DNA sequence: GGAACTCTTTGCGCAAGAACAAAGACGTCC
DNA sequence: GGACGTCTTTGTTCTTGCGCAAAGAGTTCC
C-alpha cells in the first residue's frame, strides 16, 4: 500500500481560515502515523463522498487534504462566513445550527464520521447560512474549495456522490418538515430519536445511546427542553428509553418506533 | 438557427409512464411550431438547469426530450412511483406535496417555468417520496432518467447545475424549517408569501398576485386554513394585501415584509 | 337562472404545549 | 470535598392557534 502523503507540515503553511481549528502538528511516532493513515483511509473509503471512487483516486484526494481537530463546542464554521473549505469528519460529531432572532437555536442536522460538514454544492463565492459546531472532540480532513472543485472535475463520480448526498439531506429535511407541520411533539420526538440513533447511536451494553442534551433534542424536534424532558421521563418510567444527563439510550427500539404509531 | 428536432411523434412511440400525462400530438402549423420552438428554447436557456450550458448543447438536449402537457390538478408523479423521468416545466406551475397519516397534506415546494419538477439526483432505482401536482395547465419537457444521465456524463456543467439546484432547494427548506420551529404563524405566513410571490407572483395591475387557496397557503406554512384566513382578512383590512378567492395579491410589498419584523 | 359545489369567513370552546419558576441531580474544578 | 455551574425535573399558569360548526361568497354546470 503506497504511503499516504501527510500534510501536517502543509497545514502550517496554509492559512487556517477555520475559526478555532487547531492544526494537528504533534509529530507522532511512525507506527502511530501508519495506524492513523490506515484508519483514515478505511473511513474515507466508506464515506458516501467517496462511494465508487477508486482506492487509488481516493488516496490521492485524501493526500491533498489537511487534517484538523476540533474540541467539543469548537465552531467549524459560522453562518455568514464565506465558504472556503470542504470538511469531511473522520471522527467525532457536529451539529449544523441556525439562529432565529432572540437567540433561539435550531438544529438542522447532525454529522458523524464520514459525513461532509458544510455547504456542499454552494458556489465558492457564497456564504454559509448555518453554523457548524463540534458536539465532541473530532477530527476532520479539509480541502480548500478550489482544490476540491478541481478533483470534482477530474473525478465525475465525486460530483455524482455530492449530488446524492445533497439529495439525501433534502429528503431527510423534507421528512422532518412534514412531521413538524403535521405531527404532535411526541411523535416527532420518537421519530427523531430513531433517526438520530441510527445515524450516530453508539452501542452501549446492549442498547444504542445518543449523546444529546434535552435542549438539543428540543432544537432538533422544534419544541422546548421542558416538553422533551417530560416526554423522556415518561418513556423512561415505561421502560422504553433510559435517560442520563446529556444522553438517551434505547434498548427497546421496537417500542420506540411503535410509540409513534399509537399516539 | 438550426431546426430543433421535434419529438411529437416520438412521444407516441415511447411508453408514457407519467400518470395523467397527455402527449402533445396536435400538429400545429409550421409557423406555430417555429414559435413554440423559440419560446421553448429561450425559456430553457434561462432555466437554472441549463445555466452556462452552450446553446448548441442545450438544443441537442432539448431535442431529445418529449413534450407533455398537464391540466390543473393532474398528477405529474406519485409518491412511491419509481423515478423514471426528469421533468422540466416550461409553463404553468406545480406543487410538491407529501401526505401525513389521516390525509393531511404538506406542500414541500412550488415549481414554475424553468424549474425541474421531481427528484433530481436520486438513484434511478429509487422511488419518489413526494407527489407532484399541477396547479394550473402546464407544459413540460420530459427525459427518461437514463437519457438524462447520459447527457449529465457528456456535459459536466449539467451536473454542476443539478448540484446547485439541489443546494438552493435545501437552503430554502432549511429556512422554512427554522421558521416553523421558531416563529409564530403570522411571521411564517408573511415570509412564505414573500418567497412565493418572488418565485411565482404574476404582475396584476401594479401588484404581484399568487394563485393559491387559503388551504394551500396553510399547507405551505404549517397551519390551518382558518388561521390563514383570519390573518389574510386582517391584513386585507389593513391594506397590506388584497384577497380574492384562491388568490392573494400584494401591492405594498414593503409592508408585508415589515409585518414579519414587528410581530 | 338557479342548483350544486367548493372555497372562505367568522364565532366559540378547548387543549397542546410554551413560558416561567424553583428545586433537585450531576459533574467539575479548585 | 465542597462550591459552583450546568443540566434536568416538575409544578403552575397562560396563550396560541387548532377543531369544529355554520353561515356566506364565488364558480360552474346544466
**Predicted confidence (pLDDT) per residue in B43-101, tens digit:** 888 899 999 999 999 999 999 999 999 999 999 999 999 999 999 999 999 999 999 87
pLDDT of res. A120:
78
pLDDT of res. A100:
86
**Predicted confidence (pLDDT) per residue in B117-141, tens digit:** 977 777 667 899 999 999 999 999 9
pLDDT of res. A253:
85
Q: Tell me if A129 and B104 make a contact (CB, 8 A cut-off).
A: no
pLDDT of res. B20:
37
* Rounded percentage of chain A residues whose pLDDT exceeds 70: 83
pLDDT of A136 higher than 70: yes
pLDDT of B148 higher than 70: yes
pLDDT of B29 higher than 90: no
pLDDT of res. B252:
83
Chain B hits for A177, Cβ within 8 Å = 106, 108, 173, 176-177, 180, 222
Q: Which residues touch strand D (CB under 7 A)?
A: A 213-215, 225-226, 229-230, 232-233, 236, 243, 245-246; B 184-186, 223-224, 226-227, 244-245
Q: How far is the CA of A244 from the C1' of C26 (A)?
A: 10
Angle at B44 between CA B41 and CA B49, to 5 degrees: 155
Provide the shortest C-alpha distance from residue A236 to chain B (in Å): 25
Dihedral (C-alpha) B209, B215, B218, B220: value to the nearest 10 degrees? Answer: -70
Provide the shortest C-alpha distance from residue A33 to chain B (in Å): 36
**Segment A55-83 mean pLDDT:** 92
**Predicted confidence (pLDDT) per residue in A223-244, tens digit:** 999 999 999 999 999 999 999 9
Least confident of A38-47, A132-141, B12-21, B215-224: B12-21
With a CB cutoff of 8 Å and minimum separation 6, the contacts of B97 are B105, B106, B107, B108, B130, B131, B132, B133, B219
Residue from B129, B90, B125 nearest B106 by CA: B129
pLDDT of A125 higher than 80: no
Question: What distance in Å separates the CA atoms of residue B149 and residue B144, rounded to the nearest whole number?
Answer: 9
Query: In the complex, which nucleotide's C1' lies nearest to the CA atom of residue A185?
Result: C17
pLDDT of B40 higher than 80: no
**Chain A CA closest to residue B106:** A178
pLDDT of B36 higher than 90: no
pLDDT of res. A206:
80
Query: b/e string for A50-59 if b means 16 or more Cβ within 10 A?
Result: beebeeeebb
With a CB cutoff of 8 Å and minimum separation 6, the contacts of A216 are A95, A107
Q: Tell me if B108 and A176 make a contact (CB, 8 A cut-off).
A: no
Q: Is the CB of B226 under 7 A from strand C?
A: yes
pLDDT of A148 higher than 60: yes
Q: How far is the CA of A112 from the C1' of C20 (A)?
A: 36
* Rounded percentage of chain A residues whose pLDDT exceeds 90: 70
**Helices (H), ranges, chain B:** 10-13, 30-46, 55-63, 145-154, 156-182, 185-200, 214-221, 225-237, 253-262
Question: What distance in Å separates the CA atoms of residue A221 and residue A193, rounded to the nearest whole number?
Answer: 9
Least confident of A2-11, A90-99, A129-138, B237-246: A2-11
**Segment A177-192 mean pLDDT:** 95
pLDDT of res. B12:
29
pLDDT of res. A103:
80
Confidence band of A31 (pLDDT split at 50, 70, 90)? low
**Predicted confidence (pLDDT) per residue in A193-225, tens digit:** 999 999 999 998 888 999 999 999 999 999 999
Confidence band of A258 (pLDDT split at 50, 70, 90)? confident
Q: Measuring CA to CA, how many Å separate A34 from each of A27, A29, B128?
A: 12, 9, 44
**Predicted confidence (pLDDT) per residue in B198-246, tens digit:** 999 999 888 899 999 999 999 999 999 999 999 999 999 999 999 999 9
pLDDT of res. B33:
62
List the domains of chain B with CATH numbers: 10-176 (2.60.120.10), 183-262 (2.60.120.10)
**Predicted confidence (pLDDT) per residue in B149-193, tens digit:** 999 999 999 999 999 999 999 999 999 999 999 999 999 999 999
Is the Cβ–Cβ distance between A234 and A192 less than 8 Å? no
Question: What distance in Å separates the CA atoms of residue B167 and residue A93, rounded to the nearest whole number?
Answer: 22
CA atoms within 13 A on the CB side of B137: 0
**Chain B CA closest to residue A99:** B178
Q: How far is the CA of A243 from the C1' of C13 (A)?
A: 37
Least confident of A89-98, A113-122, A155-164, A206-215: A113-122
pLDDT of res. B262:
57
pLDDT of res. A205:
81
Closest in B167, B173, B178 to A121, CB measured: B167
Question: What distance in Å separates the CA atoms of residue A181 and residue B219, rounded to the nearest whole number?
Answer: 8
pLDDT of A15 higher than 70: no
pLDDT of res. A96:
96
How do beta strands B131-134 and B94-99 pair? Answer: antiparallel
Amino acid at each position: 500500500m503506497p504511503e499516504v502523503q501527510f500534510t501536517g507540515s502543509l497545514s502550517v503553511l496554509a492559512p487556517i481560515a477555520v475559526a478555532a481549528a487547531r492544526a494537528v502538528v504533534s509529530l507522532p511516532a511512525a507506527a502511530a502515523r501508519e495506524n492513523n493513515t490506515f484508519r483514515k483511509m478505511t473511513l474515507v473509503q466508506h464515506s458516501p463522498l467517496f462511494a465508487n471512487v477508486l482506492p487509488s483516486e481516493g488516496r490521492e484526494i485524501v493526500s491533498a487534504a489537511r487534517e484538523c481537530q476540533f474540541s467539543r463546542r469548537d465552531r467549524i464554521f459560522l453562518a455568514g462566513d464565506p465558504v472556503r473549505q470542504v470538511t469531511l469528519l473522520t471522527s467525532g460529531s457536529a451539529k449544523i445550527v441556525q439562529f432565529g432572532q432572540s437567540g433561539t437555536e435550531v438544529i438542522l442536522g447532525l454529522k458523524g464520521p464520514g459525513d461532509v460538514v458544510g455547504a456542499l454544492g454552494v458556489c465558492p463565492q457564497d456564504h454559509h447560512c448555518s453554523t457548524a459546531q463540534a458536539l465532541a472532540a473530532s477530527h476532520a480532513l479539509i480541502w480548500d474549495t478550489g482544490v476540491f472543485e478541481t478533483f470534482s472535475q477530474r473525478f465525475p463520480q465525486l460530483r455524482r456522490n455530492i449530488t446524492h448526498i445533497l439529495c439525501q439531506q433534502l429528503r431527510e429535511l423534507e421528512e422532518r418538515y412534514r412531521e413538524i407541520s403535521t405531527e404532535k411533539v411526541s411523535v416527532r420526538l420518537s421519530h427523531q430519536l430513531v433517526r438520530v440513533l441510527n445515524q450516530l447511536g453508539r452501542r452501549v451494553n446492549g442498547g444504542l445511546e445518543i449523546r444529546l442534551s434535552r435542549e438539543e433534542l428540543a432544537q432538533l424536534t422544534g419544541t422546548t427542553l421542558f416538553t422533551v424532558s417530560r416526554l423522556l421521563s415518561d418513556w423512561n418510567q415505561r421502560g422504553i428509553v433510559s435517560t442520563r444527563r446529556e444522553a438517551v439510550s434505547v434498548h427497546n427500539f421496537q417500542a420506540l418506533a411503535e410509540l409513534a404509531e399509537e399516539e
